[in-house]
């Protein structure tokens, strides 16, 4: 199985690395880090990832994963990622996104009229792009799987692992990576965080 992990400037590292750790460990998976050029790509936290191939060189994949990141608006304006997604999605078995990566799927026409999720601060933006926005952490609609913000990418990848390789393999993967979240705070959602914290975070994330 060819797994294409999309890279672009100012993407969020965990959006990519979380699903990568889950999916690349499965049997007979070949992971490709695909970008517009072969030049290293800097994530929004400073981590740099080197592509293994380019959009021009890779025209198909069985599974496509699109991360989000603080650079999502610039990537939308550029249009290069969406154009590649529009080309590879029709022959992909699965197309998935994490966080604001769903906006790129939407720009490619993949989410028109479909249920999808994204980071809580970008739900209105995703709706404007034609998706039927869900507040669920992971949404599966046919061959398209979307995840909410950042850490939800691990949930999405485990969901895919179960669909593709079976529940037992997915449970084994969860155990091996010791994915047993017990956060020290209960502020991981706008439903549980204080209104003041939600407002501040929204301003930081959207520039409003």
Q: Do 192 and 186 meet the contact criterion of CB atoms below 8 Å apart? A: yes
- Structural tokens at position 119: 């980071």
Q: Which one from 99, 147, 154, 157 is the annotated catalytic residue?
A: 99
Count CB-CB contacts under 10 A for residue 142.
8
137 Cβ contact list (under 8 Å, min separation 6) = 117, 147, 148, 152, 155
Residues in the chain: 208
Nearest-angstrom CA–CA distance, 7 and 101: 11
- Per the annotation, the verdict on 43 as an active-site residue is no
Nearest-angstrom CA–CA distance, 154 and 168: 17
Provide the annotated active-site residues: 99
């Amino acid at each position: 199985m060819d797994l294409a992990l999309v890279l672009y400037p100012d993407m969020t590292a965990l959006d990519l690395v979380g699903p990568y750790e889950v999916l690349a460990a499965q049997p007979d998976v070949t992971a490709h880090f695909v970008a517009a050029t072969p030049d290293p790509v800097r994530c929004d936290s400073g981590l740099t990832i080197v592509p293994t191939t380019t959009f021009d060189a890779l025209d198909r994949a069985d599974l496509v994963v699109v991360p989000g990141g603080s650079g999502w608006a610039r990537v939308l304006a550029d249009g290069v990622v969406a154009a590649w997604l529009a080309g590879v999605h029709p022959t992909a078995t699965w197309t998935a996104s994490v966080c604001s990566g769903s906006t790129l799927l939407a720009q490619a026409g993949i989410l028109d009229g479909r249920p999808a999720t994204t980071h809580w601060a970008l739900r209105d933006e995703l709706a404007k792009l034609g998706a039927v926005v869900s507040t669920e952490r992971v949404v599966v609609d046919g061959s398209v799987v979307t995840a909410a913000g950042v850490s939800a990418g691990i949930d999405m990848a485990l969901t895919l692992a179960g669909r593709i390789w079976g529940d037992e393999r997915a449970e084994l993967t969860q155990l091996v990576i010791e994915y047993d979240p017990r956060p020290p705070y209960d502020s991981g959602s706008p439903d549980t965080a204080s209104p003041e914290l939600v407002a501040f975070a929204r301003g930081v994330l959207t520039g409003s």
